A = this chain, B = another copy of it.
Amino acid sequence: MLSKGGCPKTMLSIKDALEVLEGKWKLLILFSLSGGPKRFKEISREVVGITDKTLSKELKHLETNQLVKREVFDTFPPKVQYSITEHGMSLEKVLDELHFWGLLHRKKIIGK
């Protein structure tokens, strides 16, 4: 596909994707949720280094883009749970490729 380098239409769809997934946290949150629904504190423990303020903001952004579903259960105290949507699961291949590339990059640069 890189042979299409610079093609404005391809550039546009990559830009669309990057605008939704911008920053280093959103895809990590989605990866954490791909293991099953979780509560706020559970995500916060898994996504090492994220602050509660950022996690809260990122979850709202992911909800707006229909990548994450937030559910409130009528218990006492109320239980709030986050899960990945079908649309969120469609990012599987993106996560796969980032995982493979992350391994390669660590070997090449960080592991030197």
List the interface of chain A (C-beta within 8 A of B): 1-7, 10-20, 22-24, 27-28, 31-36, 46-48, 65-66, 87, 89-106, 108-110
CB–CB B101/A1 < 8 A: no
Work out how many copies of this chain go into the complex.
Answer: 2
CB–CB B102/A90 < 8 A: no
Contact A14:B99 (CB < 8 A) given known A6-B35, A23-B23, A31-B2: yes
CB–CB B98/A18 < 8 A: yes
| Chain B min CB distance to A64 (Å) | 9
Of the A-B pairs whose beta carbons lie under 8 Å apart in the complex, a sample of 17, sorted by A's number, is A1-B95, A1-B96, A2-B92, A2-B95, A5-B35, A6-B35, A11-B32, A12-B102, A13-B99, A16-B106, A17-B101, A18-B28, A87-B108, A93-B97, A94-B97, A94-B101, A97-B97
